[in-house]
Amino acid sequence: MTTMSFGDLVERLKNAPHGELRRIERETGVNYGTIREIKDGQTKNPRLDTFNALADWCQRNPLTSPDPSREAA
């Protein structure tokens, strides 16, 4: 069971290091395009099984540091 909110999930995806979305796709079975659309805010109400798969993955794989390319100069 997940305790992550949808906003937390989107933030986690936005801060994912380069290439991690493909890893998430491989490990969750959720389509890369769907993951990207959630990250980009195009999908605001994903299916429950999609949300749970992504949230569970994110909780098992915490972000240790933000993507440096997203840091402000």
Q: Which long-range contacts (CB under 8 A, 24 or more apart) does 63-71 make?
A: 63/12, 63/15, 63/16, 66/15, 67/15, 67/16, 67/17, 67/18, 69/18, 70/14, 70/15
pLDDT at 10: 95
CA distances from 5 to 23, 70, 71 (A): 21, 22, 23
Encode pLDDT of 19-30 as tens digits.
999 999 999 999
Per residue in 18-69, pLDDT (tens digit) is: 899 999 999 999 999 999 999 999 999 999 999 999 999 999 998 765 555 5
pLDDT the model gives residue 62? 85
Q: Tell me the pTM.
A: 0.81
Q: What is the pLDDT of residue 23?
A: 95
